[in-house]
Amino acid sequence: MTGTTPAPPAPRSPADAGPTSPPPAGPGPGPAGTTATSPAGTATTSLALTGRGLWRRARWYLVVLAVLLIGATAVAAIGQDRRYPPLDPRSYDRDGAHAVLALLEHQGLKTDLTTDPTGHPTGADTLVLPEPDLLSPAELRAVAAARHSRLVLIAPGPAALSALAPGIRSSEEDGGPPYASVRSTAAQCSLTEAVRAGTAGIGGMLYTNGSRGEGCYPRGHGYPLVSTPAVGGDVIVLGTGAFLHNEELAKDGNAALALGLLGSQPHLTWHLPDYTAPLAQGTRDKTFGDYVPDGWRWAGYQLAIAAVLTALWRGRRLGPVISENLPVVVRAAETTEGRARLYRRAKARGRAAEALRRATAHRLAPALGVPLQAGEPDPDTLCAAVADRLPEQPAGDVRALLFGPPPTDDAALLRLADDLDALERQVRNP
């Protein structure tokens, strides 16, 4: 038995067809919810969101996100560019101190870097403390008892001075300025290292030399370099370590001064401070920035960039100016009164008189049969017509009233308005 294809049913006549339901009013979703069918049975465009439409909607969001990621990466790279703090002997940056340490090693000195200022041998050595205020009281006492041949303190505060350099005080305690700008200054002292170096770029915190110390490079009532004797050696107090920076070492006598102060002993120990330790009490007042972590600063920059990009994205350009009909109707009397007040405030008597005369002439011309030329009546013709209508009004007086000079004060303007009103009534009712 072979399969046969059933024949399509014969079309029925409208009479054979029963009542049918009306077609749907508009296209609707199909069974799968992806297509819509019209009354004629043809498929329409899909209502589902396509990949192209999704890209058009999300492309600006993706662009903003990409810009934010690039900006965050750049800011993070800038933040990671500096690996060492200023005056670090391992740093090759402009404010690092690797160059002076390399010069000392080239001269045959043995140099060491340590994080513990009390855990190294003493004797014929030099100990450099770039941040003595970060040492605890116990560490300050241990350093003072170690009796180094030379102790170099950079910008110490009152606590470090009291423990390591007795007799030396801040210049501010004696009524002098606490700081001085870094600039080239002559030594003006007998300290061998300073005399050999001559002029050097020095400044920073200022100190008094006390009874036994000697101050160099005087700035006002203080010194940015003070040398004082100690048990077993001496102590050098520096107001700043700027002349030890890599970029400053070749200027003036900075290199000679640095090598002289740090290279007097065969062994040099450079302390690497713990910058997370709190400052010694009384060194300086903390500011609001001291309590803000570094990461929040970079986060603030990123938020600022995001705010600017959002403002540019959401900004709207102003379109052209369009005219719009007023939603209310203003009475003519109010408009006239408002314009009159503007004329009065501006003291525009001539402009007001011209408006009154022009309106009167435009009303008289049709009444007297005077034609308008370019929208205005001819003055001579109008004055002659008025004189013919009113024989008691000479043409010269009519011309002075309609085309005369502007009034000089408010009273003259009121008289002009009354005269024009009276002339118009006489012409209309002779």
Secondary structure (H, E, C), 303-348: HHHHHHHHHHHHCCCCCCCCCCCCCCCCCHHHHHHHHHHHHHHHCC
pLDDT for residue 145 is more than 70:
yes
Strands (E), 179-278: 179-185, 200-205, 207-208, 214-216, 225-230, 233-238, 267-271
- Range name among 147-156, 222-231, 328-337 with the lowest pLDDT average: 328-337
Tokens of 429: 């009712």
Q: In the prediction, which pLDDT does 390 show?
A: 86
Q: In the prediction, which pLDDT does 32 show?
A: 40
In sequence order, the β-bridge partners of residue 125 are 267
Q: How far apart are CA 114 and CA 231, in angstroms?
A: 23
Per-residue pLDDT reduced to its tens digit, 352-373: 999 999 999 999 888 888 888 8
pLDDT for residue 190 is more than 90:
yes
pLDDT for residue 216 is more than 90:
yes
Per-residue pLDDT reduced to its tens digit, 88-104: 999 999 999 999 999 99
In sequence order, the β-bridge partners of residue 208 are 169
Which sign does the torsion angle of CA 99, 101, 106, 107 carry? positive
Q: Which single residue is written with the structure tokens 């090693």? A: 105
Q: How sure is the predictor about 217, in pLDDT bands with cuts at 50, 70 and 90?
A: very high
Q: Whole-prediction pTM value?
A: 0.50
Q: In the prediction, which pLDDT does 34 show?
A: 41
36, 28 contact by CB (below 8 A): yes
34/420: higher pLDDT: 420
Q: How sure is the predictor about 430, in pLDDT bands with cuts at 50, 70 and 90?
A: confident
Cβ neighbour number for residue 367 with a 10 Å cutoff: 13
pLDDT for residue 45 is more than 50:
no
The per-residue pLDDT of the chain, averaged, comes to 81
Secondary structure (H, E, C), 362-403: HHHHHHHCCCEECCEECHHHHHHHHHHHCCCCCHHHHHHHHH
pLDDT for residue 60 is more than 80:
yes
Buried b (16+ CB within 10 A) or exposed e, 200-216: bbbbbbbbbbbeebbbb
Q: How far apart are CA 196 and CA 176, in angstroms?
A: 28
182, 202 contact by CB (below 8 A): yes
The rounded percent of the chain whose pLDDT value lies above 70 is 80
pLDDT for residue 271 is more than 80:
yes
Mean per-residue pLDDT, 97-117: 92
Q: Compute the 3-state secondary structure of the chain and give helix, strand, coil in percent, each to the nearest 5.
A: 40, 15, 45
pLDDT for residue 316 is more than 80:
no
What is the H or E stretch that residue 196 is in?
A: helix 192-197
Q: How far apart are CA 135 and CA 389, in angstroms?
A: 114
Q: In the prediction, which pLDDT does 69 show?
A: 87
Tokens of 144: 């003072």
Is 21 exposed, middle or buried, given 0-12, 13-18 or 19+ CB atoms closer than 10 A? Answer: exposed
Q: How sure is the predictor about 132, in pLDDT bands with cuts at 50, 70 and 90?
A: very high
Closest C-alpha to 204, from 157, 267, 165, 162: 157
Fill in the DSSP letter of residue 23: P
In sequence order, the β-bridge partners of residue 64 are none
List phi, psi (to 5°) of 269. -120, 125
233 SS3 class: strand
All residues at 6 or more sequence positions from 173 whose CB lies less than 8 Å from its CB, including other chains = 158, 208
